[in-house]
Amino acid sequence: MGGRAGFFEVEILDWKTKEQLCFLDKVEPNATIREIRLMFHKLYPRWYPARQSIKLDPKGKSLRDEEILQHLPVGTTATLYFKDLGPQIGWTTVFLIEYTGPLFIYFLFYFRMPFVYGLDERFTSSPHPVVNLACICHSFHYIKRLIETIFVHRFSHGTMPLRNIVKNCLYYWGFAAWLAYYINHPLYTPPSYGKKQINFAVIMFLLCEAGNFSIHVALSDLRRDGSKTRKIPYPTKNPFTWLFFFVSCPNYTYEVGTWISFTVMTQCVPVGLFTLLCFIQMTIWAKDKHYTYLREFKDYPSLRMPIIPFLL
């Protein structure tokens, strides 16, 4: 059974049971996967496009929205497989929830709420200026993230599974509480080398934050036209972007630098552990992105490493 007068026929099967869910007749050859998702959504309203994973092979990769039917390795009767990704939530909403939590949780400890450390008057304020500085830096970091989420970031994937938000919030909110508890504790002791250590850390912190912001703006500019096509990011006239000469994901390099600076500033073990976990996670993300670039671009700059120049 072939397509009629240049049209395609598309059957969509359940990826697990191989049961036919629908048969789309007379589909235009230049129809995109996004358009096929919308046709499928009309037949099954509960499976909105963001919930759908459409594949050529049951165990293969999901097809991208912009892929065109006639360019796929299929005959005029195409068999596609559907997998339900579960309830989805938009990335902007995800980041707003993830980043607002640490901002307010930190304040509970900074303002020494009675239920946190007790009612003793000695516990109501800290004698160490670095505690105030740490609060300013922590707040600045998350306010910057919120501003970037609203005004800078452009997401290639519009949503993520709703179940992941609980895991992500536990991570961000839980660590914010743990760090804040120790930094704002009445028995907290300031860094060993005093003002020199603190001032050095603050300068490094601000440079890394500026670098991180610059990279996010540069990455956002790659998609200014609304395109979801991946492009190679290159350094711009902004010196903070020159790290692109050496690494594929300088935003992660700067992010780790920010938390190393915060660790030096506060000289607090929980901050150091959080920084180590951040570094491990971001190295995994950076390697993944680096190898995707290498796979997709034959002319990808050979000098670049995933996250640390010349090393990793």
Residues 201 and 68 in one domain: no
Mean pLDDT of 116-120: 70
Residues 77 and 96 in one domain: no
pLDDT tens, residue by residue, 196-238: 999 999 999 999 999 999 999 999 998 876 666 778 999 999 9
Mean pLDDT of 6-12: 89
Amino acid at 80: L
Residues 200 and 259 in one domain: yes
Q: What pTM value is reported for the model?
A: 0.82
297 pLDDT band, cuts 50/70/90, is very high
Mean pLDDT of 83-87: 90
Token pair 């490493």 is found at 305
Q: Is residue 302 part of a domain?
A: no
Mean pLDDT of 264-281: 97
Judge contact between 49 and 21, C-beta under 8 A. Answer: no
The number of domains in the chain is 2
Task: Flag the least confident range among 123-127, 183-187, 193-197, 287-291.
Answer: 123-127
End position of a domain, from candidates 66, 86, 106? 86
Judge contact between 307 and 256, C-beta under 8 A. Answer: yes
Q: What is the pLDDT of residue 303?
A: 94
Judge contact between 303 and 246, C-beta under 8 A. Answer: yes
Distance CA 88, CA 70 (A): 29
Residues 153 and 213 in one domain: yes
Indicate whether 283 pLDDT > 80.
yes
Judge contact between 209 and 140, C-beta under 8 A. Answer: yes
Of 8, 5, 17, nearest to 79 by C-alpha is: 8
- Residue 229, classed as helix, strand or coil, is coil
125 pLDDT band, cuts 50/70/90, is low
Residues of the domain holding 265: 89-296
The values of phi and psi at residue 158, to 5°, are -75, -25
Q: Give the pair of three-digit tokens for residue 136.
A: 């300013």
Of 228, 295, 242, 307, nearest to 64 by C-alpha is: 228
Residues 154 and 30 in one domain: no
Residues 109 and 255 in one domain: yes
First to last CA, the chain: 53
